[in-house]
Amino acid sequence: MSDLILPRIQVSGDAGRMENYEAAVRCAGGLPVCGYAPAPDLSCAGLLLCGGGDMEPACYGQESRGSQPPDPVRDRAELALFDAFLRAGKPILGICRGMQVINVALGGSLIQDLPPESRPFHGGADHDLVHPIRSSERSFLRQLYGPVFPVNSSHHQAVDRLGRGLEAIAWAEIGFPEAIIHRSLPIFAVQFHPERMSFGHRREDTVDGAPLFHRFLVLCRD
């Protein structure tokens, strides 16, 4: 398919670390428009917020309690991106940090540092760990993957209080959300990394992440 008729997807992430996200969008049938802290480009059909470092705790009304040093430039840019695409009614997909940005943008809060008992399951910043998560009964994740399924993780923060309009549809072993959707808008997000579970990065010890990108691209074509 010609790039001229592919849906353009704005992708925001860390400079030099968006290759896997870009590849997944392309394999799912989109044309990624990648940038670090970009201005909103509403000629794009949808927004993908990538993984990365911790948000500034002041963004959700807290002092630092285990957060790593933030990138305030990226924080401001991605909150503005989310607001612009939200107001335009365009689809938004968040991955890892991106899920946390969506939650904070809608008034939610974060667990700044997961408790030690969760570390064997969720990993640090430099490697993936594989663990099962549980999906809600009527969610699209249940339809895709069943009630319990294995995913990858590489994070030390997580969604705590849910933002306005958001609903958790999957949970980790200690109860924090692993996936969220908006009840009325085309917004969904996951804490794990489907870009490292799909297409050229498909792995045997997790489910296939490709259906999540295909779902997002379907929303972007509607």
- In tens, the pLDDT along 139-193 reads 999 999 999 999 999 999 999 999 999 999 999 999 999 999 999 999 999 999 9
**All domains of the chain, ordered by start, with CATH?**
3-221 (3.40.50.880)
What is the value of pTM for the model shown?
0.96
- In tens, the pLDDT along 78-127 reads 999 999 999 999 999 999 999 999 999 999 999 999 988 887 777 655 67
Cα–Cα distance, 148 to 58 (Å, whole number): 35
pLDDT above 80 for 4: no
pLDDT above 60 for 2: no
Cα–Cα distance, 94 to 90 (Å, whole number): 13
Catalytic residues: 96, 193, 195
List % helix, strand, coil for the chain (3-state, nearest 5).
35, 25, 45
Q: For 58-76, b where at least 16 C-beta lie within 10 A, e where not — what string?
A: ebbeeeeeebeebbeebbe
pLDDT value at residue 3: 58
